[in-house]
Amino acid sequence: MPLSKNEFRQNSLNTIKNLPKHNSFYLNAKLQKYLLKLLKQHGKTKRTKILFYYPLNFEADIRKLMKHLRSSCEIYLPFMEGESFKMVPFRLPLKKKKFDIFEAGNTYRKIKKIDIAIVPAVGVDGNLQRVGFGKGMYDRFFATLQERPIIIFTQPKLCYTQESLCDVHDIDCNFLVTPAGLVTNRAKVKKIGN
């Protein structure tokens, strides 16, 4: 019997929520090292515009990298509005909002173009499409952008299926980064290097 998207989502959530905490600092450091190398390879200028996310306690923790790049890049975070979100500049203080997500303050700026988007993924299917929490917020958000940025999914542990589970509107990625390395096409994992 084929795996359903909801079953895969639940299996992936169980996997990442039950990862041992004793080596999470080390694994997050590895993931951020791979991610930084990837960003350096694909950053067009010093003022690269990057959409980050502020992690939940079981998502890949990229906060150190976000703070590191803050002086050389334009960093944005999601700000939830209705069934989707808009981008706001990363600035302190952050406030805990809906779904226990920390957000920066609102802005009147209309930011419609970014170079790179870093997106947390619960799971990834055979087409490198994202399985998230099932709300569709990222899918709706990317439909509003003028140009598609480079999309990088992050996961604290690779949760991947070769099956095609996602719908046409589900976003896909250019790269998937985990502590084990980088996925660029159909789960061919290669190390970025030291």
Question: Do 108 and 142 form a contact (C-beta atoms < 8 A)?
Answer: no
User: Tokens 């997500």 belong to which residue?
Assistant: 101
Q: What pLDDT, on a 0 to 100 scale, did the predictor assign at position 98?
A: 67
Structure tokens of 158? 């690779």
Percentage with pLDDT > 70 across the chain: 87
CA 152 to chain centre: 6
Q: Note the pLDDT tens digit of each residue in 41-86.
A: 876 556 788 999 989 889 999 999 988 988 888 889 887 776 777 7
Distance (Å, rounded) from C-alpha 24 to C-alpha 2? 32
Going from N- to C-terminal start, the domains of the chain cover: 5-190
Q: What topology does CATH give the domain 5-190?
A: Rossmann fold (3.40.50)
The whole-number average pLDDT for the span 169-182 is 87
Cα separation of the two ends of the chain: 41
Task: Report the pLDDT averaged over residues 129-136.
Answer: 81
| Spatial distance between the Cα atoms of 1 and 98, rounded to a whole number of angstroms | 36
Confidence band, pLDDT 50/70/90 cuts, at residue 189: very low
